[in-house]
Chains A and B, each alone.
Chain A
Amino acid sequence: MTIYLLCFALFLVGLYGILTKRDLVKIILSLTIMGYSANLFFILFAYRSQALYPILSEGAEMAPMVDPLPQALVLTSIVIELGTTALLVALAVRLYQKYKTFDITKIRRLSG
């Protein structure tokens, strides 16, 4: 249970960063932290303590195994997050070229 709470704390750290930070780069970092916590949550659900890796081999006894499907899904989701992060960084670089700042309070040509 503790481990899930810690994972949730990580999620909240990310959310706090997105909501309060003014720097574009820090917002991107907070988004990444939030994404990590979601991935970690998925892996934690599949984890069984004392379980084996899920590969059947000859001579091995049948024993509890960890669920392999979430690991495959999380790999996919990490790749997707990499893509989103790369796009966000590219946008941040372009915004810096236009406004000469990373401060979102100064990047305000559009009204909310």
Chain B
Amino acid sequence: MILPYFIIIPLLAAFLITLIAGEKDHWGIAFSLITGIVLTVLAFYSFLVFRSETLVYQMGGWKLPYGIVLVQDALTGYMLVIVNLIALTSLLFSVNYIRYLDPDWKYYALFMLLLAGMNGVILTGDLFNLFVFMEIALLAAFALVAYGGRAEEYEAAFKYAVMGAVSSTIILVGITVTYSSTSALTMAAVADALSQGDPKIVHWIGGLFLVGFGLKAAAMPFHAWLPDAHSSAPAPISSMLSGVLIKVLGIYVIMRLFFNVLGAPDVFIRIFLVLSAISILVAGFISVNQWDMKRLLAYSSISQIGYILLGLGIATPLGILGAVFHLLNHAIFKSLLFFNAGTVEMMLGTRDLKKMGNLTRALPLTSNTSLIASLAISGIPPFNGFFSKLIIIIAAIQAGYPLYAIFAIVGSVLTMAALMKVQRYGFRGENEVDIGDKKVNWKMNTAMATLAVLCLVASVLIIPGIKEAAFDPVISVITEKTQYIQAVMGR
């Protein structure tokens, strides 16, 4: 059975690194890169082979009403591919970036814990188990945000940790209410019990989970921690946090809980729409106004999370296709943009756009890949961002929400304005800047080039034929409410 290895391998790597690393970081790099490669291969394999089935693994052989299960269906496989792919490129980028900050194996051990926690959240079919894996990932993330050791980083990590602890407490209360009303913690059993129960209970549970996981997803009224944490962290960690962590702990869990477990109640679908409109517009305006490059990117993450929520709020198969596709695309180009910001920070020692200038000659690959990523995120064809945004806008019009389609278009223009500001001042400005004889390492270049190529390759996924093979199983998992219950409960 392939499922437990997604959790076992990174956990084992984390503890092996702490045991045998010694003083230097060589073992940490070796172990974590091997883990990253193995997990990426496993994730691709399991998505390609098992995407139309539901695999259920009972931990310790305990049968379902008593035990904890790991579940893999198409949505799980899809998320695993995204997480492990971005983690691998982040690790590749980390090698030299972390040596420049502070060469230490602890970084790699924490990174592996973060990965184990995220894979666990994606795979688990049990509510309390999800809570535990979420805390593993969050504890590692708090420590990694503070890794650089400057005053601002401790401040951001403290803020993040307080917000994380508050939202975890609210989620725990939500789990309490769920358990006391359904006497079950397995998500499928909870869904089964709730579908026959009182709809008021669904509102209570949904409200608590919406606040808890909304804080993790950083949708607009719950966003206060994100810009600090994501801009203060080391660049590869920013790309992990912005690229996948908010999607796994926020969006993925929201999809799973609200669509599969709670049965997509109308109230919450409408709340998603409102949250998405606020996120897209307000975060878009704030991001245009930033001069710190990573802070600008962090605010733009909030606005892109708004697009994913908008697709979920439309709740037609086309809208969900847009949401799922944008999730992949945002993971790719936002990670790439954070890598670019990290490279520039490493070369120039600043993140302030006003102090950057014409970098096209000094850092050709960085500035070209950042141009690709900026075009992709602003939705210029033929890059992937164009297709996912187009699908979301078409879905909004078809479902009878023309106002939200206009919000999405305005948001797209704001994103473009913000990213063109990065290009205009950061990479193609008038200032002639000198980086001396520093060179960008090939590992960092490979990480950036891979993601830039993926920006183009991901748009292939929308071609008819490939689209049916790749996305239809994922969408049917989200839209068909009873299929998940039946598959897991084995009926």
Contacts and interface: CB of A to CB of B under 8 A. Distances in A.
A34 interface: yes
Contact of A35 (B132, B158, B169, B175): B169
Contacts of B224: 112
B158 A91 contact: yes
Contact of A80 (B135, B161, B228): B135
Interface stretch (B138-146, B238-246, B394-402, B406-414): B138-146
Interface in B205-263: 224, 228, 232
B137 to A, nearest CB: 12
A45 interface: yes
A88 B176 contact: no
Contacts of A38: 169, 172-173, 176
A60 B263 CA distance: 44
Nearest to A14: B169
A64 to B, nearest CB: 15
B139 A18 contact: no
A83 B141 CA distance: 13
A110 interface: yes
B152 A110 contact: yes
Interface string A12-49: 00010010000010010001001100110110010000
A44 B132 CA distance: 21
Of B146, B161, B169, the most chain A CB neighbours within 10 A belong to B169
B180 A45 contact: yes
Given A84-B165, A109-B151, 17 more contacts: A11-B173, A18-B166, A27-B162, A34-B169, A35-B165, A38-B173, A39-B172, A42-B176, A45-B180, A69-B185, A77-B131, A77-B172, A80-B168, A92-B158, A94-B146, A98-B154, A110-B159
23 contacts: A11-B173, A27-B162, A31-B169, A35-B165, A38-B169, A38-B172, A41-B176, A42-B172, A45-B176, A70-B179, A77-B131, A80-B132, A80-B135, A81-B165, A83-B139, A84-B168, A87-B142, A88-B158, A91-B142, A95-B158, A98-B151, A98-B154, A99-B151
The 7 closest A-B pairs by CB, nearest first: A98-B151, A45-B180, A42-B176, A38-B172, A80-B135, A91-B158, A38-B169
